[in-house]
Structure 1
Amino acid sequence: MKIGIVGIGLIGASLGWDLRQLGHEVIGVSRQQATCETAERDGICDRASCDLASLQATEIVFICTPIAAIVPTIERLIPHLHSDTILTDAGSVKGAIVDRATALWSNFVGGHPMAGNSESGIAAFEKGLFVDRPFVLTPTALTVPSALNTVDELVRSLGAIVYHTTPERHDLAVAWISHLPVMVSASAISACLNEPDPLILDLAKKFASTGFRDTSRVGAGNPEMGQMMAEYNRDALLRSLYRYRDRLDGIIDAIESKQWSEIKEILATNQAARHEFLDPDAHD
């Protein structure tokens, strides 16, 4: 297939590399000429440019831009595409995207690869990034079945574990396991930085090890991406934050009242349940 990728950052570049290894022709588009040159030099794309018109002969286009740019990118792409071209995206929010995108282009399929790291840009790309990772597709009643099947087959060929759900259910679930952790992690970093005693703060920085590293990782990711999670998935994120705050208040109450057995019970329950979120076979 001839496949286009708009946005050659971590996800777009990783897609480009893996798709080329499967024998597809990949044409990339980036706002930065230097990124295009890197993509060609490193074998991420067969060709790359800053011109959306270069995608006119593609059969499918992955839009891997920031969330806010997805719909505007589709609007700019439309004059250059054949009517049979399939568009899909990699945005981490679907409710704010899918209906608008489908209204613009009937062959649109909402997508979200649940893969990545705290880095961004083409330099962060990973070979085999999608192997054994969830890749969510969010069809609606208006989604063209043949377009959905094409995207499904293509992402499965990357070794991804494909799930289908509605945009609304996607956003509620992702608020729990992706967007909430970003805000909680960021809050933990912010709380540490607000320690009033500079000596204690300095010691905390010196003592920080694996626990703080793991807890703070997602909160130290791309600020623009975190902002867009909050802006475009506001209702679902607030829902999860309110419920998180309730659980945190319960722990505070238990500590204040010296209910040590209750604290142990909470931690034991969490210890037993954690694998259900990390082991794909735990809830089959």
Structure 2
Amino acid sequence: MKIGILGLGLIGGSLGFDLRSQGHNVLGVSRRESTCQKAVALGSVEQASVDLSLLASAEVVFICTPIALIVPQFEQLIAYLPSTTVVTDVGSVKAPIVEAISPLWDNFIGGHPMAGRADSGIEAAQRDLFVGKPYVLTPETRTPTAAISVVEEIVRSLGANIYHCQPEQHDRAVAWISHLPVMVSSSLIAACMSETDSEVLQLAQKFASSGFRDTSRVGGGNPELGLMMARYNRQALLRSLQHYRHNLDKLIHLIEQEDWTVLEERLKSTGKARPDFVE
């Protein structure tokens, strides 16, 4: 199958590696000529160009650009695609993308691979990035069954676990487990940096180990991605942040009141709940 990838960063580059390993003919488009050259040199794609017309012969196109560029890039891409081309995206927000593109393209299926790294760009791309990871698809009732099957087959070949839901449900769910953690993690780093005693701050930086590394990782990632999460999933993110603030206030109150019994029960409860989110 001839597959096009628009956007050759971490996700697009990683898709290219896996799809080529399965024998697909993979074409890539990027805004920068240097990225195109790197993608070909690394073996992520067979051909790459800054010209969208390269994707005219693709049977399936994955749009892997930053969220803000998905819709405008698709609107430019339309001029080169036959109506039979199946188009999907990998944006971490789904409702605004599906609402904008679905009326323009019958064979569009919103998608979101829940896989990533702190690093970004084609240099960060890796093989088997999607193995064992959730991959959410958000087709609408009018989306052709044949188009859904094509995307499902490709996603399944990546070793990912497929989930279907409505775009709005997706956005509320990822606000809790993806977008909120980015903001919380960023706030953690900012709070640590607010220490006014330079010696204490230096000691904290030296003492930081696995616990801090785990809880701060996503807050130290690509700032553009965090900004796009907030901008395009604003209402769901605000809702989750407000709930988080409410829970922090409860913890502050328990510690101020030295209510160790209730605090212990609370920590036990969250400890029991964690495996429901992370195996």
Which TM-score band applies after superposition, normalised by the shorter structure?
over 0.9
How many Å separate the matches in 1 of 2:90 and 2:186?
23
Aligned to 1:139: 139
How many Å separate the matches in 1 of 2:258 and 2:252?
10
Aligned to 1:55: 55
Which range moved further: 88-97 or 38-47? 38-47
Aligned to 1:14: 14
Secondary structure of 1:110's counterpart equals: strand
How many Å separate the matches in 1 of 2:107 and 2:277?
33
Query: Are 1:161 and 2:165 counterparts?
Result: no
Q: How far 1:207 sits from its partner (Å)?
A: 1.3
Unaligned runs of 5+ in 2: none
Aligned to 2:127: 127
Q: How far 1:38 sits from its partner (Å)?
A: 1.3
Secondary structure of 2:268's counterpart equals: helix
After TM superposition, list the pairs within 5 Å mapping 1:33-44 onto structure 2.
33-44=33-44
Which range moved further: 198-207 or 234-243? 198-207
Q: How far 1:244 sits from its partner (Å)?
A: 0.8
1:173 alignment partner AA: A
Q: How far 1:276 sits from its partner (Å)?
A: 1.1
Secondary structure of 1:111's counterpart equals: strand
Q: How far 1:76 sits from its partner (Å)?
A: 0.5
Asked if the contact 1:74/1:104 (under 8 Å) is kept, the reply is: no
Q: How far 1:262 sits from its partner (Å)?
A: 1.3
Secondary structure of 1:212's counterpart equals: helix
Query: Are 1:274 and 2:274 counterparts?
Result: yes
Q: How far 1:119 sits from its partner (Å)?
A: 0.7
Aligned to 1:263: 263
Asked if the contact 1:102/1:142 (under 8 Å) is kept, the reply is: no
Secondary structure of 2:48's counterpart equals: strand
Q: CA-atom RMSD, angstroms?
A: 0.9
Query: Are 1:235 and 2:235 counterparts?
Result: yes
Aligned to 1:70: 70
Query: Are 1:215 and 2:229 counterparts?
Result: no
TM-score by length of 1: 0.96
Deviations 1:43-97 (A, max 9, x none): 1101111110000010000000000000001111001001100110000000110
2:252 alignment partner AA: I
Aligned to 1:95: 95
How many Å separate the matches in 2 of 1:244 and 1:143?
36
1:112 alignment partner AA: H
Asked if the contact 1:113/1:136 (under 8 Å) is kept, the reply is: yes
Secondary structure of 2:115's counterpart equals: coil
Aligned to 1:282: none
Deviations 1:237-258 (A, max 9, x none): 0111111111111111000000
Secondary structure of 2:92's counterpart equals: coil
Which range moved further: 61-70 or 39-48? 39-48
Q: How far 1:198 sits from its partner (Å)?
A: 1.8
2:205 alignment partner AA: K
Q: How far 1:209 sits from its partner (Å)?
A: 1.2
Secondary structure of 2:102's counterpart equals: helix
How many Å separate the matches in 1 of 2:232 and 2:258?
40
Deviations 1:147-168 (A, max 9, x none): 1111111101111100000000
How many Å separate the matches in 1 of 2:132 and 2:206?
36
Secondary structure of 1:35's counterpart equals: helix
Secondary structure of 2:143's counterpart equals: coil
Q: How far 1:144 sits from its partner (Å)?
A: 2.2
How many Å separate the matches in 1 of 2:243 and 2:143?
33
Q: How far 1:199 sits from its partner (Å)?
A: 2.0
Q: How far 1:122 sits from its partner (Å)?
A: 0.6
Secondary structure of 2:258's counterpart equals: coil
Which range moved further: 258-267 or 112-121? 258-267
Deviation beyond 4 Å, 4+ runs, structure 1: none
How many Å separate the matches in 2 of 1:191 and 1:144?
49
Aligned to 2:180: 180
Asked if the contact 1:189/1:219 (under 8 Å) is kept, the reply is: yes
